[in-house]
Structure 1
Amino acid sequence: MGGALNSRVPSDSRQVPAVYGKSARSADSIAVLYTRRAGGWQRERSWAAHNGRHGWTTAHQEDDGRSPVGVFTLSDAGGVLPGQGTGPPYDRTAAFAAPRSWARSYWRDSDLVTAIDYNRISGRSPLGPDRPRGRSKGGDIWLHVVHGSGTSARVTQSLTDTESLLRTLDPARHPVVVMGGRDALAG
């Protein structure tokens, strides 16, 4: 793992899922899980992902269809499904269920989610309403189950990969997500 954002990874962090957009305007990404060991960062595994349908931004705004670029802690999780064996605190509630008025392809999105601590207060449910930077900066940025295409601003992956990541994340290892277009992460 390298690049400009690497220097912003806290020194106590030992787990980093890095989400690399294929370009600044692409909704297609690859996610790579890195673990810090004595010899440095080790690439553990990778999987296909999606991000905001309009790509990435360093100035995210509510409803812009772009995912925020940056390094964010991963402190809380939740969803409709049981969080069996999850590392982060898990809030299971039907309140995560997508409205049935939405397209059927979105109904499973919130079966399992990991909150990305962008404009939210960690230590609360991913559904927490707080927006410390203001509502215009958006919120509810999550890693969650894919519905097949780009998102409003979240990062998505398969159900199997979402389950695996939730079981792997260990709060004692201070996980953070590093995310952005490939050029932002490499620079």
Structure 2
Amino acid sequence: MAVLLGTWISIQTTWWIAFIGTIGILVGFAYSAGQHSLASLGLGEIVAAVFLGFVTTGLGYSVQGHAINGLVLIIAFLFALLIATMILTINIRDFKKDQGYRNTLAMRIGRQSAIRLLTGLLITIYLCVMMLIFFQIVSWTAMITFLALPLAYRLRWSFRNTATRENEMRAMKWAGWHHWAFGLLFVLEL
């Protein structure tokens, strides 16, 4: 279905879509293929941010006939941060399971540093929204995205020092809900 849909979109717009989609599929395979995958080299968050943040947002705008400009890149940056939080959450949650098999970013920098990085990414997302409002790139109604903040808090709370393994397992649920809620609220504002 993805190939058919991609072909149809390429016919309707430009064949560059097919080329970029093919690269995305190849990178997706390299991301998760085996012990020497991009994820196991500590590049999972970056690959996801590029291909599920910048590339998908840019393609979405270009398919609709819009030029990629600074605003699109700023919006893509927010979505890149969101997907990076999801991948980092998975890597923190699976820290013990991945030992000896993968060398994720969380393993490379250590569990506590990875949790601090997750906290920093979550804070950065909301700081970016405030900056976008301050510089009048988006209207003040973008504050609606702050309704997703309790989900970010729950995500971070899942990795507190006294968290149980069950709390950590639920972290991915909170990361998914946060991504969905923030993204939906931000798009509604746009």
Normalising TM by the smaller chain, what interval?
under 0.3
Which protein has the bigger strand share?
Answer: 1
Which protein has the bigger helix share?
Answer: 2
Q: Indicate the structure (1 or 2) with the bigger Cα radius of gyration.
A: 2
Relative contact order: is structure 1 or structure 2 higher (C-alpha 8 Å, sep ≥ 6)? Answer: 1
